[in-house]
Amino acid sequence: MSSTPAPTAAPFFPGRRAPGATPGLALFLNAGDPPLPVLHDLVLMLDEEGVDCLELAVPFPDSVTDGPVIRRSASRALGRGGAALDDVLAFVADVRPRLTHTRIALLADWRYSLGRRDPTAATRDIAASGADALLVHALPPRLRTAYLESAAAAALPVVTTCYASSPDATRARAAQDATAYLYLVAHYGRSGTAPAAGHGALARTVAELREHTAAPIAVGFGVSTREDVEAVGASGADAAIIGSAAVAAVERAQQDGRDLPGAFREFVRSVRPA
Protein backbone atom coordinates (compact mmCIF):
# COMPACT_ATOMS: atom_id res chain seq x y z
CA MET A 1 0.00 0.00 0.00
CA SER A 2 1.64 3.25 -1.06
CA SER A 3 1.59 6.33 1.11
CA THR A 4 0.09 9.62 -0.01
CA PRO A 5 2.35 12.54 0.92
CA ALA A 6 0.77 15.57 2.51
CA PRO A 7 0.71 18.62 0.25
CA THR A 8 3.82 20.77 0.39
CA ALA A 9 3.10 24.27 1.69
CA ALA A 10 5.16 27.36 0.89
CA PRO A 11 8.82 26.50 1.52
CA PHE A 12 10.09 26.66 5.07
CA PHE A 13 13.42 27.91 3.74
CA PRO A 14 13.63 30.20 0.73
CA GLY A 15 14.64 28.27 -2.35
CA ARG A 16 17.42 25.81 -2.91
CA ARG A 17 20.86 26.95 -1.95
CA ALA A 18 24.01 26.89 -4.01
CA PRO A 19 26.98 25.49 -2.08
CA GLY A 20 28.46 28.24 0.05
CA ALA A 21 25.29 30.35 0.15
CA THR A 22 23.85 31.46 3.47
CA PRO A 23 21.48 28.74 4.66
CA GLY A 24 18.15 29.27 6.36
CA LEU A 25 17.98 28.99 10.13
CA ALA A 26 15.87 26.71 12.32
CA LEU A 27 16.04 26.69 16.10
CA PHE A 28 14.86 23.94 18.45
CA LEU A 29 13.23 24.64 21.83
CA ASN A 30 11.12 22.67 24.28
CA ALA A 31 7.68 24.12 24.92
CA GLY A 32 7.57 25.07 28.59
CA ASP A 33 11.28 25.87 28.83
CA PRO A 34 11.03 28.81 29.17
CA PRO A 35 7.47 28.92 30.58
CA LEU A 36 4.88 29.44 27.86
CA PRO A 37 4.17 33.14 28.60
CA VAL A 38 7.88 33.94 28.26
CA LEU A 39 8.19 31.66 25.25
CA HIS A 40 5.40 33.66 23.61
CA ASP A 41 7.53 36.83 23.69
CA LEU A 42 10.60 34.89 22.61
CA VAL A 43 8.81 33.50 19.53
CA LEU A 44 7.69 36.99 18.52
CA MET A 45 11.33 38.07 18.79
CA LEU A 46 12.40 35.18 16.50
CA ASP A 47 9.91 36.46 13.94
CA GLU A 48 11.35 39.98 14.21
CA GLU A 49 14.84 38.54 13.66
CA GLY A 50 13.73 36.64 10.56
CA VAL A 51 14.40 33.15 11.92
CA ASP A 52 12.90 30.79 9.37
CA CYS A 53 11.65 27.98 11.58
CA LEU A 54 11.07 27.12 15.22
CA GLU A 55 11.15 23.40 15.92
CA LEU A 56 8.92 23.37 18.97
CA ALA A 57 8.95 20.14 20.94
CA VAL A 58 6.18 18.86 23.14
CA PRO A 59 8.50 17.88 26.02
CA PHE A 60 8.91 14.22 26.85
CA PRO A 61 11.21 12.39 29.27
CA ASP A 62 14.16 10.07 28.78
CA SER A 63 14.89 10.70 25.12
CA VAL A 64 17.62 8.31 24.00
CA THR A 65 18.56 10.55 21.08
CA ASP A 66 19.10 13.71 23.14
CA GLY A 67 22.15 14.83 25.05
CA PRO A 68 22.14 16.24 28.58
CA VAL A 69 21.28 19.83 27.61
CA ILE A 70 18.00 18.97 25.91
CA ARG A 71 17.16 16.32 28.51
CA ARG A 72 17.55 18.90 31.30
CA SER A 73 15.33 21.29 29.35
CA ALA A 74 12.61 18.66 28.93
CA SER A 75 12.80 17.89 32.66
CA ARG A 76 12.37 21.56 33.54
CA ALA A 77 9.37 21.88 31.21
CA LEU A 78 7.72 18.73 32.51
CA GLY A 79 8.39 19.74 36.11
CA ARG A 80 6.56 23.03 35.63
CA GLY A 81 3.51 21.35 34.07
CA GLY A 82 1.25 22.94 31.50
CA ALA A 83 3.17 21.75 28.44
CA ALA A 84 1.26 18.65 27.38
CA LEU A 85 0.21 18.32 23.76
CA ASP A 86 -3.10 20.15 24.19
CA ASP A 87 -1.36 22.99 26.04
CA VAL A 88 1.21 23.33 23.29
CA LEU A 89 -1.45 23.30 20.57
CA ALA A 90 -3.28 26.09 22.38
CA PHE A 91 0.00 28.01 22.56
CA VAL A 92 0.61 27.56 18.82
CA ALA A 93 -2.96 28.63 18.02
CA ASP A 94 -2.37 31.85 19.96
CA VAL A 95 1.09 32.80 18.68
CA ARG A 96 1.09 31.54 15.08
CA PRO A 97 -1.29 34.22 13.66
CA ARG A 98 1.09 36.89 14.98
CA LEU A 99 4.05 35.63 12.96
CA THR A 100 4.90 37.05 9.56
CA HIS A 101 8.01 35.01 8.75
CA THR A 102 8.80 32.28 11.27
CA ARG A 103 7.16 28.90 10.69
CA ILE A 104 6.49 26.41 13.49
CA ALA A 105 7.31 22.72 13.07
CA LEU A 106 5.88 20.77 15.98
CA LEU A 107 7.93 17.85 17.29
CA ALA A 108 5.96 15.23 19.23
CA ASP A 109 7.07 11.89 20.61
CA TRP A 110 4.95 8.99 19.46
CA ARG A 111 4.84 7.06 22.73
CA TYR A 112 4.48 10.01 25.09
CA SER A 113 2.25 12.41 23.14
CA LEU A 114 0.60 10.71 20.18
CA GLY A 115 0.43 6.95 20.62
CA ARG A 116 -2.84 6.90 22.57
CA ARG A 117 -4.64 9.27 20.22
CA ASP A 118 -6.46 8.49 17.04
CA PRO A 119 -3.92 9.45 14.35
CA THR A 120 -6.52 11.06 12.10
CA ALA A 121 -7.87 13.22 14.91
CA ALA A 122 -4.38 14.06 16.17
CA THR A 123 -3.06 15.28 12.83
CA ARG A 124 -6.28 17.21 12.25
CA ASP A 125 -5.94 18.93 15.63
CA ILE A 126 -2.30 19.78 15.02
CA ALA A 127 -3.11 21.25 11.63
CA ALA A 128 -6.01 23.22 13.11
CA SER A 129 -3.70 24.78 15.71
CA GLY A 130 -1.80 26.52 12.93
CA ALA A 131 1.35 24.44 13.18
CA ASP A 132 3.08 24.49 9.81
CA ALA A 133 4.44 20.95 10.00
CA LEU A 134 4.82 17.90 12.21
CA LEU A 135 7.89 15.86 13.06
CA VAL A 136 7.06 12.65 14.92
CA HIS A 137 9.82 11.31 17.14
CA ALA A 138 10.22 7.52 17.40
CA LEU A 139 7.36 6.67 15.05
CA PRO A 140 7.11 2.87 14.77
CA PRO A 141 7.96 1.89 11.17
CA ARG A 142 4.82 -0.23 10.87
CA LEU A 143 2.71 2.91 11.39
CA ARG A 144 4.53 5.11 8.88
CA THR A 145 2.03 4.69 6.04
CA ALA A 146 -1.00 5.34 8.23
CA TYR A 147 0.66 8.43 9.70
CA LEU A 148 1.54 9.86 6.29
CA GLU A 149 -1.99 9.25 5.04
CA SER A 150 -3.47 10.97 8.12
CA ALA A 151 -1.17 13.95 7.64
CA ALA A 152 -2.11 14.17 3.98
CA ALA A 153 -5.80 14.09 4.84
CA ALA A 154 -5.26 16.95 7.31
CA ALA A 155 -3.17 18.91 4.77
CA LEU A 156 -0.36 18.86 7.33
CA PRO A 157 3.17 18.88 5.87
CA VAL A 158 5.58 16.47 7.52
CA VAL A 159 9.23 16.63 8.49
CA THR A 160 11.09 13.38 7.98
CA THR A 161 14.52 12.44 9.28
CA CYS A 162 17.47 10.31 8.32
CA TYR A 163 21.08 9.99 9.35
CA ALA A 164 23.90 10.79 6.99
CA SER A 165 25.06 7.23 7.72
CA SER A 166 21.67 5.62 7.05
CA PRO A 167 21.47 3.03 4.24
CA ASP A 168 20.79 4.48 0.80
CA ALA A 169 17.24 3.09 0.70
CA THR A 170 16.42 4.57 4.11
CA ARG A 171 17.66 8.00 3.09
CA ALA A 172 15.77 7.84 -0.19
CA ARG A 173 12.52 6.88 1.56
CA ALA A 174 12.86 9.72 4.07
CA ALA A 175 13.53 12.17 1.26
CA GLN A 176 10.54 10.98 -0.77
CA ASP A 177 8.19 11.27 2.22
CA ALA A 178 9.27 14.79 3.25
CA THR A 179 6.74 17.49 2.44
CA ALA A 180 7.85 20.25 4.86
CA TYR A 181 11.58 19.52 4.94
CA LEU A 182 13.99 16.67 5.38
CA TYR A 183 16.00 16.74 8.61
CA LEU A 184 19.41 15.30 7.80
CA VAL A 185 21.02 14.26 11.08
CA ALA A 186 24.69 14.95 10.60
CA HIS A 187 26.04 12.49 13.11
CA TYR A 188 24.86 9.23 14.62
CA GLY A 189 24.70 9.82 18.35
CA ARG A 190 23.03 12.18 20.76
CA SER A 191 22.04 15.76 20.07
CA GLY A 192 24.87 18.23 20.53
CA THR A 193 27.50 15.98 18.95
CA ALA A 194 29.10 16.96 15.65
CA PRO A 195 30.47 14.92 12.73
CA ALA A 196 34.22 14.44 12.90
CA ALA A 197 34.74 15.62 9.31
CA GLY A 198 32.61 18.74 9.76
CA HIS A 199 29.23 19.65 8.30
CA GLY A 200 30.67 20.73 4.97
CA ALA A 201 31.63 17.11 4.31
CA LEU A 202 27.93 16.29 3.90
CA ALA A 203 27.86 17.80 0.41
CA ARG A 204 27.74 14.45 -1.37
CA THR A 205 24.92 13.18 0.86
CA VAL A 206 22.93 16.38 0.31
CA ALA A 207 23.38 16.10 -3.45
CA GLU A 208 22.21 12.48 -3.42
CA LEU A 209 19.13 13.38 -1.38
CA ARG A 210 18.24 16.09 -3.90
CA GLU A 211 17.55 13.33 -6.40
CA HIS A 212 14.67 12.05 -4.27
CA THR A 213 12.89 15.15 -2.98
CA ALA A 214 11.72 18.62 -3.89
CA ALA A 215 11.50 19.51 -0.20
CA PRO A 216 14.21 21.60 1.47
CA ILE A 217 17.03 19.78 3.25
CA ALA A 218 18.02 20.97 6.73
CA VAL A 219 21.08 19.74 8.60
CA GLY A 220 21.21 19.40 12.38
CA PHE A 221 23.25 17.90 15.24
CA GLY A 222 26.39 19.66 16.38
CA VAL A 223 25.46 22.98 14.76
CA SER A 224 26.22 25.56 17.43
CA THR A 225 28.21 28.46 15.98
CA ARG A 226 28.23 30.84 13.04
CA GLU A 227 31.05 28.80 11.55
CA ASP A 228 28.94 25.64 11.78
CA VAL A 229 26.04 27.37 10.03
CA GLU A 230 28.39 28.48 7.27
CA ALA A 231 29.70 24.91 6.96
CA VAL A 232 26.12 23.67 6.52
CA GLY A 233 25.76 26.24 3.75
CA ALA A 234 28.92 24.88 2.16
CA SER A 235 27.30 21.44 2.01
CA GLY A 236 24.54 22.83 -0.21
CA ALA A 237 21.79 22.23 2.38
CA ASP A 238 18.90 24.67 2.58
CA ALA A 239 19.01 25.27 6.32
CA ALA A 240 20.92 24.71 9.53
CA ILE A 241 19.14 23.45 12.64
CA ILE A 242 20.51 24.54 16.01
CA GLY A 243 19.25 22.51 18.94
CA SER A 244 21.45 22.00 22.00
CA ALA A 245 23.20 25.36 21.67
CA ALA A 246 19.86 27.17 21.51
CA VAL A 247 18.51 25.30 24.52
CA ALA A 248 21.77 25.99 26.40
CA ALA A 249 21.34 29.72 25.69
CA VAL A 250 17.88 29.57 27.28
CA GLU A 251 19.30 27.67 30.24
CA ARG A 252 22.08 30.22 30.84
CA ALA A 253 19.72 33.18 30.60
CA GLN A 254 17.33 31.65 33.11
CA GLN A 255 20.16 30.80 35.50
CA ASP A 256 21.53 34.34 35.26
CA GLY A 257 18.11 35.95 35.67
CA ARG A 258 18.42 37.80 32.36
CA ASP A 259 15.62 39.06 30.17
CA LEU A 260 15.16 35.96 28.07
CA PRO A 261 13.96 37.40 24.75
CA GLY A 262 16.78 39.95 24.86
CA ALA A 263 19.43 37.38 25.75
CA PHE A 264 18.19 34.99 23.09
CA ARG A 265 18.20 37.76 20.49
CA GLU A 266 21.93 38.10 21.15
CA PHE A 267 22.35 34.37 20.62
CA VAL A 268 20.46 34.45 17.32
CA ARG A 269 22.61 37.26 16.03
CA SER A 270 25.78 35.50 17.14
CA VAL A 271 25.09 32.38 15.04
CA ARG A 272 23.65 34.00 11.93
CA PRO A 273 26.25 34.59 9.19
CA ALA A 274 26.78 38.22 8.29
pLDDT tens digits, one per residue of 216-233: 999 999 999 999 999 999
pLDDT-based confidence at residue 1 (cuts at 50, 70, 90): very low
4 within a domain of the structure (yes/no): no
Arithmetic mean of pLDDT, 264-273: 97
60 within a domain of the structure (yes/no): yes
Q: Which residues pair with 28 in a beta bridge?
A: 55
Structurally, how many domains does the chain consist of? 1
Q: Is the pLDDT of residue 269 over 60?
A: yes
pTM of the model: 0.93
What average pLDDT is seen over the chain?
92
17 within a domain of the structure (yes/no): no
56 within a domain of the structure (yes/no): yes
Q: Is the pLDDT of residue 66 over 80?
A: yes
Task: Give the structural domain span for 160.
Answer: 24-271
The HSE-up count of residue 268 (CA atoms within 13 Å, CB side) is: 24
CATH number at residue 55: 3.20.20.70
Residue type, 201: A
68 within a domain of the structure (yes/no): yes
Per-residue pLDDT at 86: 98
Long-range pairs for 87-94: beta carbons < 8 A, 24 or more residues apart: 87/31, 87/32, 87/36, 88/31, 88/32, 88/56, 88/58, 89/125, 89/126, 89/129, 89/131, 90/129, 91/31, 91/36, 91/39, 91/40, 92/56, 92/129, 92/130, 92/131, 93/128, 93/129, 93/130, 94/40
262 within a domain of the structure (yes/no): yes
pLDDT-based confidence at residue 274 (cuts at 50, 70, 90): confident
238 within a domain of the structure (yes/no): yes
pLDDT-based confidence at residue 12 (cuts at 50, 70, 90): confident
Per-residue pLDDT at 187: 76
Q: What is the pLDDT of residues 148-158, one digit of tens each?
A: 999 999 999 99
pLDDT-based confidence at residue 2 (cuts at 50, 70, 90): very low
- What count of other Cβ atoms lies within 10 Å of the Cβ of residue 100? 8
What positions carry a catalytic annotation?
55, 66
Could you tell me what percent of the chain has a pLDDT over 90? 84
Per-residue pLDDT at 20: 63
Arithmetic mean of pLDDT, 250-258: 97
Which 3-state string (H, E, C) describes 152-186? HHCCCCEEEEEECCCCHHHHHHHHHHCCCEEEEEC
Q: What is the pLDDT of residues 47-57, one digit of tens each?
A: 999 999 999 99
- 232 in Cβ contact with 223 (< 8 Å): yes
107 within a domain of the structure (yes/no): yes
